[in-house]
Each structure stands twice: as C-alpha cells, then as structure tokens.
C-alpha cells in the first residue's frame, strides 16, 4: 500500500503507471462528480439544501486535497504504439470536466456514441459549438494515434450544418484522408438520428524529435 501511495503523488503520473483497482475507483469518483456537476447546474433545491450540499462538497474537497498531483492523469499520447494496439480507448474517464468518450477504431475509421447533457449546453437545448469542436478534435487525434503516430493539431476547420441536440445519442465518426511527410489530414463529423450536424477537417503535424 505504501508503494501505491507514493505512485499516486509523484509528478505527472501516467494512467498506465497505476493499478487497475485504483483506476476503477477513480473512474467511479469522476462519474459521481459529473453527476454532482449536473445536479448543481440544474437543481431547484431550497436555500437550506444548497447550503448543506455546499458544506458536504467542501468536506469532500478537503479530503482529496490532502494528496494532489500537479496535473491530471496523463494518457498515452507519448506512447502511440500502445494506442495503436488498443481497439477501444477511453477519453475523459479520469477528468470530470470532459465529456467521456469511448472511441473504437477499425482500420482507417474511428467511431463513438455519446449523449451530451445540460453541462454541454450552448444555444438552448443544443450542444455548445466549442464542445462540438472538442469532440471532433478528440476523434481526429485518436484516429491518428491509432496508426502509431504522435501528432498535434495544426488546423481545424468546422462547418456547423444544423443544431446538435442535447440528451439524444450522437454518433461521431472520423476517417483518414491523406498524408505527406509529417502532415496528416483527417475528416470527422457528428450525426444525430441520420442528420449530419457538424463536419470537421483537421491538419495534424508530427513534431520534430
């Protein structure tokens, strides 16, 4: 147990450095925090319940703040070979501020399904445009990582074709386009019940080592 405690507090810990029982418990915690965030954003509780909830949350925060990292858990960005070997990969499972994604890769195509809630609202009852861009960037970047390359976003062009609704399943897609040297072009889009709502084309560049 002492060794695990040391691992949990060292700087910039990678997810792969931690035991699965701890990771699963942390994912459960993050899921609970997301539920809390949604409740806090949409509650109509009376003032006394709000105060009591704030006190309970402060106590939980104080407990977890006793051991803090300098940043969130790191994924496998610097280990594209490991990403390439995984058919399915989670994004956001350990960060409550993210929309959690489970992306599947089959050859030159990546797919995911997600339902965005009130925390992702921009226009009334619709997904915030910036979060739509974030979803596209995640899909495009993961597709490239699945090929075993480490690239960063250089340019992301988006077309918003229709409002993207909340609380309905969204199908996300990404496909490889072309590459030249260190440059890779990829395409992505969002569909809701057969209607394409967002399209994206990204240029990614492999950094010089």
On average, the pLDDT of the chain sits at 89
pLDDT for 81: 54
Q: CA angle 196-197-202, nearest 5°? A: 90
Q: What is residue 190's three-state secondary structure?
A: strand
pLDDT reading at 197 higher than 70: yes
Mean pLDDT along residues 2-11 = 48
* 173-193: pLDDT as tens digits: 999 999 999 999 999 999 999
Q: How far apart (Å, rounded) are the C-alpha atoms in residues 28 and 116?
A: 19
pLDDT reading at 15 higher than 60: yes
* 121-145: pLDDT as tens digits: 999 999 999 999 999 999 999 999 8
pLDDT reading at 172 higher than 80: yes
pLDDT for 83: 54
pLDDT reading at 80 higher than 60: no
pLDDT for 2: 42
Residue 7 confidence class, pLDDT cut points 50, 70, 90: very low
Determine how many CB atoms are found less than 10 A away from the CB of residue 154.
12
Q: How far apart (Å, rounded) are the C-alpha atoms in residues 57 and 49?
A: 12
pLDDT reading at 11 higher than 70: no
pLDDT reading at 5 higher than 70: no
Poorest-pLDDT segment among 34-48, 78-92, 140-154:
78-92
pLDDT for 3: 47
Mean pLDDT along residues 64-75 = 88
Q: What is residue 189's three-state secondary structure?
A: strand
């Amino acid at each position: 147990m002492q060794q695990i405690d040391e691992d949990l507090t060292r700087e910039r810990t990678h997810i792969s450095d931690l035991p699965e029982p701890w990771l699963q418990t942390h994912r459960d915690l993050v899921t609970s925090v997301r539920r809390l965030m949604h409740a806090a954003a949409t509650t109509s509780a009376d003032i006394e319940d709000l105060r009591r909830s704030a006190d309970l949350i402060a106590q939980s925060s104080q407990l977890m703040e006793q051991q803090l990292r300098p940043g969130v858990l790191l994924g496998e960005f610097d280990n594209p070979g490991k990403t390439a070997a995984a058919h399915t990969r989670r994004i956001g499972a350990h960060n409550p501020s993210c929309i959690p994604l489970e992306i599947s890769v089959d050859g030159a195509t990546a797919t995911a399904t997600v339902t965005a809630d009130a925390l992702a609202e921009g226009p009334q009852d619709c997904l915030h445009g910036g979060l739509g861009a974030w979803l596209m960037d995640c899909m495009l970047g993961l597709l490239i990582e699945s090929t075993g390359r480490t690239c960063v976003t250089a340019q992301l062009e988006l077309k918003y074709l229709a409002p993207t609704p909340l609380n309905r399943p969204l199908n996300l897609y990404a496909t490889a386009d072309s590459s030249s040297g260190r440059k890779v072009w990829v395409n992505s889009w969002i569909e809701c019940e057969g209607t394409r709502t967002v399209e994206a084309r990204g240029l990614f560049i492999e950094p010089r080592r």
